[in-house]
Structure 1
């Protein structure tokens, strides 16, 4: 499986993180690591995800972009590390 890193900017609401994680799981991606931090005004959060899957990361990118509270999704520099399932 290939690892991919994504950066998500979203509104800080109680259900936002739950929705992001649900999309990751439903689209067949395995969560390897996650880091979340609030921005200075605390109305927005940055979520950094590292996921692994045989599926193209663009599938996850497009689904995360459709979430109501998500403002921006970026695919970070792809990693060459592979994970054996």
Structure 2
């Protein structure tokens, strides 16, 4: 008689630095710890669904400044 192994359900949670597409997040029901960046007093969310242009703009600013400033944790999505 074969024994059935029952695996517990697992929830994958990552942070906003993960390189995942919106489709992957939805398909695998992945949540992420939301972060915000603060640049000159303006807060903006760090999303996993940024456009390529938004990513290049953000990292261009970071390279120019030698960093970005403050990063804050948000609640899980």
Look at both structures and tell me which one has the larger radius of gyration over its CA atoms.
Answer: 2
TM-score over 0.5 (shorter chain): no
- TM-score norm. by structure 2 comes to 0.32
- TM-score norm. by structure 1 comes to 0.30
